[in-house]
Amino acid sequence: MTTSMKLLYFAWLREKAGVGEEDIQPPAGVATVAQLVDWLVARGGGYAEAFGDRKVVRVAVNQEYVSLDHPVAAGDEVAFFPPVTGG
Amino acid sequence: MIRVQKEDFDLGAELKALTAGNHAVGGLCSFVGLVRDVSGGGGAGGETVGAMTLEHYPGMTEKELSRIEAEARERWPLDATLIIHRYGRLEPGDQIVLVAAASAHREAAFEACHFLIDFLKTKAPFWKLENTPGGGQWVDARSTDAAAAARWTPSPGKAAE
């Protein structure tokens, strides 16, 4: 059974975080998207900059839009990106 | 039907194929989005854009476009729908997106087509990076796009979410 979580970053969030995709093993206590973001920001580097303004960060868990209080668990695919600009 | 592709598309051939053999269709409405050569709203103050790169979220993009298409078919009596969205490098004048809706009568076709592009613009996970003389610049989401999509919610007959 997997214990890791797959994180994806797109557009300027990818550029600021300095990574497009990574597998992570968050510590116990990371049970929601907001807690995951807190943990990432605490890692420092580009993460703090990428999540500097959380209001503009969109989140998808397993490819569905969710809010910051949505639960996350091992095996999830969690994506962070700016508001979309296609079309 | 939805397609996410790098290649250009032939508008005439796509529309012809969409309704081929279905003589219940009385109206087919389509919208094509093109790359502009000026950034921002297109008015004064915009920077010249040489080209742009469209990034997307493979997997979620297809899911979102399918959800948007399914929602349109739930709201209107449609015989056929089509969404094609391109990604990768695009030049000014290039086609980016095609949405089309076919129905027995024009009203459903017009409305569904408008709905498809409005929802796509606020939900489908694509991001535009414009190449300007000042360097690469991520396009900001426009509040007018959110307002355009909001006009369509809640769907008729559905409780407000």
What is the chain A residue with the closest CA to B117?
A87
Min CA distance, B59 vs chain A (Å)? Answer: 7
Whether A32 is in a domain gets the answer yes
**Confidence band, pLDDT 50/70/90 cuts, at residue B47:** confident
A8 chain-B contacts, CB cut-off 8 A: 57
Dist. CA B118–CA B123, nearest whole Å: 9
Whether A86 is in a domain gets the answer no
Q: What is the mean pLDDT of residues B126-151?
A: 91
A11 chain-B contacts, CB cut-off 8 A: 55, 127, 129, 138
Beta-carbon contacts of B28 under 8 Å, excluding residues fewer than 6 positions away, are B15, B18, B19, B80, B100, B101, B102, B109
Percent of chain B with pLDDT over 70: 92
**Confidence band, pLDDT 50/70/90 cuts, at residue A1:** low
pLDDT at B45 over 70: no
Beta-carbon contacts of B111 under 8 Å, excluding residues fewer than 6 positions away, are B76
Whether A37 is in a domain gets the answer yes
- Beta strands B95-103 and B135-138, pairing class: unpaired
Of A10, A83, A87, the CB nearest to B57: A10
Dist. CA A16–CA A47, nearest whole Å: 7
Dist. CA A31–CA A25, nearest whole Å: 12
**Confidence band, pLDDT 50/70/90 cuts, at residue A6:** very high
Q: What is the mean pLDDT of residues A30-45?
A: 95
Length of chain A (residues): 87
Min CA distance, A82 vs chain B (Å)? Answer: 8
pLDDT at A44 over 90: no
CATH of domain B2-142: 3.90.1170.40
Q: What is the mean pLDDT of residues A21-25?
A: 96
User: Interface of chain B against chain A, CB under 8 Å?
Assistant: 33, 54-57, 59-60, 63, 85, 96-97, 117, 120-129, 138-141, 145
Q: What is the pLDDT of residues B6-35, one digit of tens each?
A: 999 999 999 999 999 999 999 999 999 999
Question: In the β-sheet with B27-34, what is the strand arrangement from edge to edge?
Answer: B2-5, B78-86, B95-103, B27-34
Of B96, B123, B127, the CB nearest to A81: B127
Please provide the average confidence, as pLDDT, over all residues in chain A: 95
Give me the CATH number covering residue A38. 3.10.20.30
Minimum mean pLDDT range among A59-68, B8-17, B139-148: B139-148
Are the beta carbons of A86 and B96 separated by less than 8 Å? Answer: yes
Residue ranges of domains in chain B: 2-142
Whether A75 is in a domain gets the answer yes
What does A66-77 look like in DSSP terms, one character per residue?
E-TT-B--TT-E
Whether A52 is in a domain gets the answer yes
Q: Please give the residue that has the higher pLDDT: either B126 or B160.
A: B126
The pLDDT assigned to B155 comes to 65
**Confidence band, pLDDT 50/70/90 cuts, at residue B48:** confident
pLDDT at B70 over 80: yes
Q: What is the mean pLDDT of residues B100-119?
A: 98
Q: Are A12 and B138 in contact (CB under 8 A)?
A: yes
Whether A30 is in a domain gets the answer yes
Whether A55 is in a domain gets the answer yes
Whether A25 is in a domain gets the answer yes
Host domain of residue A58: 5-81
Of A63, A81, A87, the CB nearest to B59: A63
Q: What is the mean pLDDT of residues B41-49?
A: 65
Q: Are B10 and B85 in contact (CB under 8 A)?
A: no
Min CA distance, B139 vs chain A (Å)? Answer: 7
Taking CA atoms, A69 is separated from A34, A59, A63, A72, B45, in Å, by 6, 11, 16, 9, 39
- Count of structural domains within chain A: 1
